Chain A
């Protein structure tokens, strides 16, 4: 992994604000949504994201996840996935995230453990995002797929029920009608 400061083009003593500014400028330039989702921009964006997150979580100098969670962890990062697995097994998800936060290389396995630990503390969004990353990086791993599926299943059940209320295919014409309606209605919508 390249030096995260170099990736963002900021000096090592840059302030938080300068780092965020540099990151957002690069995100505007490379975000796949603004570049028709081409491969180069996707790769570039993921590099920028990793750099930004590792600086924010203090990874380049050790530290880790405690910024966000104020836990007492002070380790130096010499742990491995076995330790992470042990913490997860006993429900100590924040400790698991701290160790993960100290690892520089984000492999499919890293994303998998991160997803499980985030799910454990109820971080739904991080959990499903990282589970998807793990599957994208290693599509052949059934365990990663199982975890992603488990997380997405709740949403699917909701979505099925939601579809019984009808689709939104005709929403264009619907909204014209609403707009007309609203001319006579309170200050709504």
Chain B
């Protein structure tokens, strides 16, 4: 997806950072093992968060850990850990990546995207067989979202809701007593991610005359809106009564989700400062 749901590593202690990185590396390793080395480049931190929160809700401990060298950093040995949830997250990663490339192909007729989609087609089919209902729902929602965007919807809540439902499906790991809360949580987080992405791309979309869901909203309200959406998300989060990895998860929900936004703002400020000199 977009990589907004990552930790603010400055505020993690050494153990937390090690554990977090090892979770990412475990996911990267699982992706490679389950779906081939090529699939690893599609990974970002959003899916690492999925592993953390589901492992916490289902209280699934680390089942396998170790050290290895990998293609990305062959010099250093590094830690990894994984469990059943890691496998699930790697499947979901394939699903979203595949649809994402297909979408790019439809939007821009980008041959590169079509080629990429073809590379993942076999892996996608494996995941589809494993999760036919999820695949069907996500496919339908993405179609819906694409139509909403194409018709130039000016109410930002409508596409955000649609995107939120996709993430809700991804977070609803199993049909059990946790399903409904996890779905609500994923949905709220998805709405935030969708709007955050619209905020980050806002000026570029304006300049390139592309669809942006926030186009009729004054930009001085963006921060308020994002805060309200995260308030909704953390409200559901609190009802999950998380114990395991609570600090790390809250670092992400209360601080990490702002990293890219704050970094962009700082860069723009620097640019404006240089211009005024």
Contacts and interface: CB of A to CB of B under 8 A. Distances in A.
Interface in B195-241: 195, 202-203, 206-207, 209-211, 215-219, 221, 224-225, 227-232, 234-235
Main secondary structure of the interface of B (DSSP, over half): helix
Contact of A186 (B8, B72, B152, B266): B72
Interface string B58-77: 00000000000010110110
Interface string B14-57: 00000001001100100000000000110111000000000000
A27 B153 CA distance: 15
B207 A28 contact: yes
Contacts of B41: 187
Given A158-B227, A189-B3, A16 B152 contact: yes
Contacts of A52: 154, 216
A57 B51 CA distance: 42
B84 interface: no
Contact of A25 (B3, B73, B209, B262): B209
A154 B228 contact: yes
A132 interface: yes
A124 B209 contact: no
A129 B224 CA distance: 10
Contact of B152 (A56, A122, A155, A185): A56
A79 B11 CA distance: 55
Query: Chain A binding site: helix, strand, loop or mixed by DSSP?
Result: helix
Contact of A31 (B206, B224, B259): B206
A16 B153 CA distance: 11
Given A165-B251, A168-B262, A27 B206 contact: yes
What interface size band does chain A fall in? 35 or more
Nearest to A124: B228
Contacts of A168: 258-259, 262, 266
Contact of A184 (B10, B73, B224, B227): B73
B93 to A, nearest CB: 13
A185 B227 contact: no
A157 B238 CA distance: 14
B275 interface: no
Given A184-B73, A187-B72, A189-B3, A151 B155 contact: no
A156 B225 CA distance: 10
Interface of B: 3, 6, 8-11, 21, 24-25, 28, 40-41, 43-45, 70, 72-73, 75-76, 151-158, 160, 195, 202-203, 206-207, 209-211, 215-219, 221, 224-225, 227-232, 234-235, 251, 254-255, 258-259, 262-263, 266-267, 270
